[in-house]
């Protein structure tokens, strides 16, 4: 790692403030940095994108209810000491430096595909940005996760994800393009049926909300523009589990399913997708193989994929390698042997203690199932939060709420200088999902709600969290304008 350019430090007197480097600009990284006191710490962020995405509203932007930019917050508005647009490529915990590859490309998705492909076949060439090093005093790993495809053929190439704002834009263009294509006088009815079948894989809140928003778009706006095409439209949600929305209790999940049934959205549980490939006969259309259907293939114009998460290449790299010489750890026994980061062997996430410090175990500790190694140490200056981190003894969902709470807890601990005094406690504030047609469901430990009242809560709750004043003004304006004039349906 020698010989790389070193990023400049704003404070020439390095002793003045600790330099806290955060990897990632999602719910965890952005939330942490926003709360960290700039008077007490030098704040540095490394992320391939220069904005935070307000993910719960992505489905709304994908169908044109909201403008894309209303879900974005520029990291620049945090007034950071330094922001480096790039990927953390490796970390040297001994020298306390991060190796960063600058992101100067335009297309995030093609790059992610490259990285995933390279991880599987390391000999593949990859177009690299310039590499440089960033030193840290304290490090917060909050680089999130990738979409899980379970290695199913064709998913990475042909399915649409819904994790970043670029994904939302691609989905929106594709949906409008499918309608334009179906409307052509040269298109046969049989092809129209194929093109206008919208397949959503994954019955979690993201998949369900996207199905609901898509249904709203079609019913409220596209039905007026393409009245003759309505009879060809179908929306199907596929899930491998016996029920969708597993985080909601049976009453609410049933309410959601009945609502979907009335609206004509099909939900097919216990269906296993096994392949996606282009349909040679109808350009722009896909053929899906489903285990339960045998050789019979399902046609769809678009497949939106939302089945879960996998670790990104950095986390895999960090949790696989042995560290030559242990950095400061809280466990005396470990300081004289080679160590490695402790990971959950099932999900691959980094395990932390309840102060969110990264756990370490002896290099040759058996591949534990997460909580078997009796006495892990913890790095005093390296923390992990968000989707890439987990506890050994408590399974929390990979949600924005958990990431947000961990981020706030950690930043407050930094600010007060009490990082290892009180353990992190997750407070379940409840879960919400939009079901379309101005209805939603909400469930918390205290109560549950469904229908229009839950929808009002859904809309107002989204205005209170992590949003700038600008977007707090713009989002209701967009809602209002959409309600008055309909959604934008220009293919741009």
Of 8 and 122, which has the nearer Cβ to a second copy? 8
CB of 225 to a second copy, least distance (A): 5
> Which of 35, 85, 371, 380 lies at the binding interface for a second copy (CB under 8 A)?
85
Kindly tell me which residue out of 12, 104, 332, 346 binds a second copy, with binding defined by CB under 8 A: 104
Q: Please select the residue that binds a second copy; options are 17, 20, 43, 67, rule is CB under 8 A.
A: 67
Residue 395 vs 477, nearer CB to a second copy: 477
Distance CA 245, CA 252 (A): 9
Nearest-angstrom CA–CA distance, 444 and 340: 38
Residues 6+ apart with CB under 8 A from 53: 26, 71, 72, 164, 165
Distance CA 370, CA 356 (A): 15
Euclidean distance between CA atoms 129 and 111, whole angstroms: 11
- The answer to whether 284 contacts a second copy (rule: CB under 8 A) is yes
> How far apart (Å, rounded) are the C-alpha atoms in residues 234 and 231?
8
Judged by CB under 8 A, the residue of 135, 166, 313, 476 near a second copy is 166
Say how many C-beta atoms besides its own lie within 10 A of residue 220's C-beta. Answer: 17
Q: Is 488 in the site for a second copy (CB under 8 A)?
A: yes
Tokens read off for 131: 């590499």
Query: To the nearest whole angstrom, how small is the minimum distance from the Cβ of residue 95 to a second copy?
Result: 17
CB 82 to a second copy: min, Å: 9
Cβ contact 52:76 at 8 Å: no
Give the closest residue to 378 by CA, choosing from 362, 351, 361, 360.
360
Q: How far is the CB of 188 from a second copy (least distance, A)?
A: 10
Site for a second copy in 112-141 (CB under 8 A): 130-132
Report the residue number, 74 or 415, with the smaller CB distance to a second copy.
74
Q: How far apart (Å, rounded) are the C-alpha atoms in residues 397 and 431?
A: 11
* 78 is a contact residue toward a second copy (CB under 8 A): no
CA distance 399 to 404: 9
Note whether 72 binds a second copy by CB under 8 A.
yes
For residue 298, what are the contacts with CB-CB under 8 A and spacing of at least 6?
Answer: 197, 199, 287, 288, 289, 290
In whole angstroms, give the CA distance from residue 217 to residue 209: 12
Q: Minimum distance between the CB of residue 166 and a second copy, rounded to whole angstroms?
A: 7
For position 479 contacting a second copy by CB under 8 A, the verdict is: no
Query: Is residue 122 a contact partner of residue 364, using CB atoms and an 8 Å limit?
Result: no
Nearest to a second copy of 132, 426 (CB atom) = 132
Question: Smallest gap, in angstroms, from Cβ of residue 101 to a second copy?
Answer: 10
> Looking at beta carbons only, is 136 or 455 nearer to a second copy?
136
- Other C-beta atoms closer than 10 Å to the C-beta of 295 total 5
Give the nearer residue to a second copy in terms of CB position, either 121 or 228. Answer: 228
| Ranges within 183-242 binding a second copy (CB under 8 A) | 184-187, 225
Q: Please pick, from the candidates 124, 126, 173, 241, the single residue that binds a second copy as defined by CB under 8 A.
A: 173
Task: Tell me: does residue 180 bind a second copy (CB under 8 A).
Answer: yes
Q: Shortest Cβ distance from residue 86 to a second copy (Å)?
A: 8
The widest CA-to-CA distance across the chain, in whole angstroms, is 76
Q: Establish if 470 lies at the interface with a second copy (CB under 8 A).
A: yes
Residue 491 touching a second copy (CB under 8 A): yes
- Write the burial class of residue 428 (CB in 10 Å: 0-12 exposed, 13-18 middle, 19+ buried): middle
Strands (E), 412-467: 431-436, 439-443, 448-451
Does 375 engage in binding with a second copy (CB under 8 A)? Answer: no
Rounded Cα distance between 33 and 73, Å, is 13
**325 lines the binding site for a second copy (CB under 8 A):** no
Q: Give the separation between CA 50 and CA 464, rounded to whole angstroms.
A: 22
**Cα 478–Cα 71–Cα 162 angle in degrees, nearest 5:** 115
Residues 23-52 that bind a second copy (CB under 8 A): 49-51
Here the tokens at position 183 are 């409307």
Closer CB to a second copy, 134 or 390, in the complex: 134
Residues 144-163 that bind a second copy (CB under 8 A): none
Site for a second copy in 430-469 (CB under 8 A): 468-469
Shortest Cβ 42–a second copy spacing (Å): 15
List contacts with a second copy (CB under 8 A): 5-8, 49-51, 67-69, 72, 74, 76, 84-85, 102, 104, 106, 130-132, 165-166, 173, 177, 180-181, 184-187, 225, 283-284, 468-470, 473-474, 477, 481, 484-485, 488-492
């Amino acid at each position: 790692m020698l010989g790389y350019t070193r990023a400049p430090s704003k404070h020439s007197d390095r002793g003045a403030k600790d330099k806290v480097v955060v990897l990632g600009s999602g719910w965890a990284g952005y939330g942490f940095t926003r709360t960290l006191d700039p008077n007490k710490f030098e704040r540095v962020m490394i992320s391939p994108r220069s904005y935070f995405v307000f993910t719960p509203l992505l489905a709304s932007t994908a169908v044109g209810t909201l403008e894309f930019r209303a879900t974005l917050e520029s990291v620049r508005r945090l007034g950071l000491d330094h922001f480096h647009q790039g990927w953390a490529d490796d970390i040297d915990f001994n020298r306390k430096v991060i190796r960063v590859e600058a992101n100067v490309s335009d297309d995030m998705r093609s790059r992610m595909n490259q990285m995933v492909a390279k991880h599987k076949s390391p000999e593949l060439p990859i177009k690299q940005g310039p590499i440089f090093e960033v030193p840290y005093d304290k490090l917060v790993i909050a680089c999130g996760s990738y979409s899980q495809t379970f290695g199913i053929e064709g998913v990475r190439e042909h399915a649409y994800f819904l994790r970043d704002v670029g994904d939302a834009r691609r989905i929106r263009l594709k949906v409008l393009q499918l309608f334009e294509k179906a409307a052509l006088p040269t298109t046969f009815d049989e092809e129209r049926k194929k093109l206008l079948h919208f397949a959503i894989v994954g019955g979690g809140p993201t998949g369900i909300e996207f199905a609901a928003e898509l249904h709203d778009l079609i019913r409220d706006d596209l039905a007026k523009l393409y009245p003759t095409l309505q009879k060809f439209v179908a929306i199907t949600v596929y899930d491998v589990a016996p029920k969708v929305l597993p985080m909601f209790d049976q009453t609410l999940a049933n309410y959601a399913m009945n609502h979907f049934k009335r609206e004509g959205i099909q939900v097919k549980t216990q269906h296993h997708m096994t392949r996606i490939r282009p349909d040679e006969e109808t350009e722009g259309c896909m053929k899906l193989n489903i285990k339960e259907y045998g050789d019979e293939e399902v046609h769809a114009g678009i497949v939106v994929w939302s089945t879960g998460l996998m670790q990104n290449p950095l986390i895999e790299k960090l949790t696989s390698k042995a560290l030559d010489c242990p950095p400061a750890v809280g466990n005396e026994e470990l300081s004289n042997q080679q160590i490695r980061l402790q990971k959950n062997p099932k999900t691959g996430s980094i395990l932390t203690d309840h102060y969110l410090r990264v756990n370490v175990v002896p290099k040759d500790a058996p591949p534990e199932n997460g909580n078997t190694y009796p006495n892990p140490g913890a790095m005093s200056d390296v923390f992990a939060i968000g989707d890439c981190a987990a506890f050994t003894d408590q399974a929390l969902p990979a949600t924005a709420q958990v990431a947000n709470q961990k981020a706030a807890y950690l930043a407050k601990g930094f600010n007060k200088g009490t990082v290892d005094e009180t353990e992190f406690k997750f407070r379940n504030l409840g879960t919400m999902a939009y079901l379309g047609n101005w209805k939603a469901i909400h469930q918390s430990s205290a109560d549950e709600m469904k229908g229009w009242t839950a929808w009002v809560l859904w809309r107002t709750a989204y205005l209170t969290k992590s949003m700038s004043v600008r977007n707090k003004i713009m989002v209701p304006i967009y809602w209002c304008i959409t309600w008055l004039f309909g959604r934008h349906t220009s293919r741009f």
